[in-house]
Structure 1
Amino acid sequence: MNIIDKSLESGLFFKQKDRHVVEKLVSLMFTKKIKKKETLLRHGEICKEIFYVQKGLLRVYIINEGKEVNTWFVQEGDFITSINSYHRQKPSEHFIEALEDCEIISIKKTTLDFIMKNNHKAALFATNELFNKLCDYQEQASALRFMNAESRYSYLYEKQSEIFNRLSQKQLASFLGVDTTYLSKIISKYKSK
């Protein structure tokens, strides 16, 4: 979904009659085409942007004891950033990498600050999106903290079933914290339910 349609979708803040305003605001942002395996953000970099995924699939991961560990997946219609790095301008602990060729809208922090100061509907939309993400993160943190691999599989399937055929077994196993052999057993068990 493109960002203009996303802004108009709920009708809470921007209405169809505001399309020209939304288009003007979006013109302040940058569209990037990102190739598969290209990294948008690296560990240690300061995140100065929020990314909106118009097309494609991204993964968020950390390096733990020398191994890549997927922490979440982001698809079309979602915003992503390294929140702590973006808000506090501290080095990121995360990597954000394209799993497919993607089209991303990049919103610089300075641009978003300007838009929010000068357009109350944009500020309300951004605040609403932020709170939606915070709700998701709180749910993910609470749910995933105490779940075993089978429960995490079920949770991810419930939340993002449409990405399963877009992930490799290695990527999914990394998210679950298991090897691919054990993942096959989880998948078999899950399908037999």
Structure 2
Amino acid sequence: MEINEIIDAIYPLTSVSKNLIKKSIVETKFPKGHILFKADKIETSIYFIKKGIARAYAYSDENEITFWFGKEGDPIVSMQSYVNNQKGYEDVELLEDCELYELKTEKLHKLFLEDIHIANWGRKFSELELIKSEERLISLQFNTATERYLALLENCPSIIQRVQLSHIASYLGITQVSLSRIRATLK
């Protein structure tokens, strides 16, 4: 996905403001399996996925718990680092070879002070991330595993073909055996 589409999907900007952000963005590539973010580290960049897929996870009793997937167009951000300049709690692993747009957080925060349109874009970016987190929390609290799986199929069908079932089961909060049963029941 091209950077213009990604920026516009968050919040439309004037061409001058959009160009200021674009001047601060660097394209980068990393291979499948690369750990982009490491827990207990302040992350100094946010990324937008041009091509590829990633997952965020944390550890619980030595088990990896996947709580987020990102695909083309999605941001990769440690909100704890982005908002509070504090260490994040998540690891982010690239599940495919990825092409990313990198934006240094410090540069973006400077742009917020210089351009009200970019500041509003940043506010909208944070609001959208908050809504995603809220929807995820509500889904885990109120939906059955089958309902969560069906929502994943509806909202992001490519994840099922591109991500290991163990990661999907973890994301849904179930075992891989339970996921296999749900998939068999739905066929």
TM-score (normalizing by structure 2): 0.89
| Distance (Å, rounded) in 2 between the aligned partners of 1:9 and 1:155 | 21
* Contact in 1 for aligned 2:34/2:93 (Cα 8 Å): yes
TM alignment of 1:1-193, pairs within 5 A: 1-8=1-8, 13-14=12-13, 18=15, 22-191=18-187
Aligned CA RMSD, in angstroms, stands at: 2.0
Unaligned runs of 5+ in 1: none
Could you tell me the percent identity over the aligned residues? 26
* Contact in 1 for aligned 2:42/2:81 (Cα 8 Å): yes
| Distance (Å, rounded) in 1 between the aligned partners of 2:175 and 2:131 | 30
Unaligned runs of 5+ in 2: none
The farther-off stretch of 156-165 and 37-46 is 156-165
Q: Deviations over 1:33-90 (max 9, x none)?
A: 0110101111111122211111110001011100111101011111121212321122
| Distance (Å, rounded) in 1 between the aligned partners of 2:51 and 2:62 | 30
TM-score (normalizing by structure 1): 0.87
Q: Deviations over 1:124-179 (max 9, x none)?
A: 22222221221111111112124332222123223222321111112112212333
Q: Which amino acid counterpart does residue 141 of structure 1 have in structure 2?
A: L
Runs ≥4 residues deviating over 3 A: none
Per-residue deviation at 1:9?
5.4
Per-residue deviation at 1:182?
2.2
